[in-house]
Amino acid sequence: MGYKKIECFIRPEKFEEVIVGLEKVGIDGINIDKIYGYGSQKGEEKEVEDYKQKKEYEVKFKEKIKLEIVTDENKVEKIIETIKAHAQTGKVGDGKIYITPVEESIKIRTT
């Protein structure tokens, strides 16, 4: 049996709902990061800031939450469906999910 790594980027306001859903389907472990970036939406909602030099600029980066889950291949579909069910708003910027194979896993403590 192989392993897969699921990386997903979701809206911060959907974080708690997604985590509760994932815990209900029995995820084995998860890593979470608060990140900033933009995708195809190119930071649609633009903010303008005024600095001492009186220059204006557009802030394109949006806050997102990145979740990383490494799991058995047979759990991938259930995890993806759970993320989609709890993260989707139907608006631009709902996020992305990426799945990649895990070639090898090494436990540092026991090697």
Residue 30 tokens read as 């998860």
Residue 77 tokens read as 């579909």
What dotted CATH number matches 3-102?
3.30.70.120
Instruction: Give residue-wise pLDDT tens across range 73-97.
Output: 999 999 999 999 999 999 988 999 9
pLDDT at 4: 97
Mean pLDDT of the 31-55 span: 68
- pLDDT score of 57 more than 70: no
Rounded to 10°, the helix 15-24/76-87 angle is 150
pLDDT at 46: 47
pTM of the model: 0.81
Q: Which residues of 69-88 are buried (b: 16+ CB within 10 A; e: fewer)?
A: bbbeeebbeebbebbeebbe
